Amino acid sequence: MKLLDGKKVANDIKHEIAIEVKKLLDLGFKKPHLAAILVGNNGASETYVNAKVKACKKVGFDSTLIRLSSSIEENDLLDKISDINNDNNIDGLIVQLPLPDHINEKKITESISPNKDVDGFHPENLGKMVLNLPTFLPATPAGIIELLARYKITTDSKYCVVVGRSHIVGSPISILMARNGNPGNCTVTITHSRTKEIHNIIKQADILIVALGKAEFIKGNMLKKGVTIIDVGITRKKSDKTKSGWKLFGDVDFESCRDRASFITPVPGGVGPMTIAMLLKNTLLAVQRKK
């Protein structure tokens, strides 16, 4: 079993981005600028956004964190997004999900300029991804593809099973794994809560990508020997064994699965850092497009 160290690869990517930023500055261009909107006081979202701000500083980006009350009206949030869309000083914008129940996430996502949508969630960018046109790829699926590429994991002609069908991870990664490219050229099956005999399908996987949101759902006895496992899930549970009082769990039961796998991502330290690295990469791409 070999660990797919997302933290290490993400740091490599950040180093590469920092070099590109220095080149831009040497040519007289401004620093790339990423703006993030955080609505409310969700603990997990707060941690994630702060990690993004810290990553911006590391690579030489400017960053703006806009904190808004959970009681903000939808129209006021839309106005704030419009202001950023029209601000030429800001290159990329992310609105941290989830949002309060009274705000329509779909409407908010669609209001972000496709040219600043570094999360890759806007329908225009998703449509270009489906057509294999240059675009901002959704950050987490892009991170998975980058991780597979940098570890030189063979995907051609492999059977890939995706557990979960969200528009953020499951659906886009299924498209990327099936496309004619490297990584890619897999035969892909998407499974979900309505899939019959899901255990039998998972058992056949050469590459298993799990984005379900159910802690330790995948057990070792469900796997084929030699499978590559990408664990996207992250669930916080109370724990008296950590300083914070919380412990993070993936969708994969790491201890029972590690001996069945040829490659496996840890939680934390696997896909999470890669997602942030891809956000930075998309922001740099936004700047290069304008240049």
Q: Could you give the CA distance from residue 198 to residue 184 in angstroms, rounded to a whole number?
A: 23
Phi/psi for 230 (5° steps) reads -115, 110
Is 117 among the residues known to form the active site? no
Cis geometry, peptide bond prior to residue 183 (ω within 30 degrees of 0): yes
User: Kind and range of the H or E element at 284?
Assistant: helix 271-290
Active-site residue (options: 14, 52, 158, 281): 52
Collect all residues with Cβ–Cβ distance below 8 Å to 224 and sequence separation of at least 6: 203, 204, 205, 206, 260
Is 119 among the residues known to form the active site? yes
List, in sequence order, every residue forming a beta bridge with 68; answer none if it has no partner. Answer: 39
Q: Could you give the CA distance from residue 268 to residue 44 in angstroms, rounded to a whole number?
A: 13
Q: Could you give the CA distance from residue 258 to residue 3 in angstroms, rounded to a whole number?
A: 9
Active-site residue (options: 14, 80, 91, 96): 96
Is 52 among the residues known to form the active site? yes
Strands in 92-95's sheet, in edge-to-edge order, are 62-68, 33-39, 92-95
List, in sequence order, every residue forming a beta bridge with 37; answer none if it has no partner. Answer: 66, 95
Active-site residue (options: 119, 231, 251, 253): 119
- Beta strand ranges found along the chain (DSSP E): 2-3, 33-39, 62-68, 92-95, 159-163, 187-191, 207-210, 227-231, 235-238, 246-249, 261-264
Q: Taking Cα atoms as reference points, which of 219, 192, 214 lies closest to residue 203? A: 219
Catalytic residues: 52, 96, 119
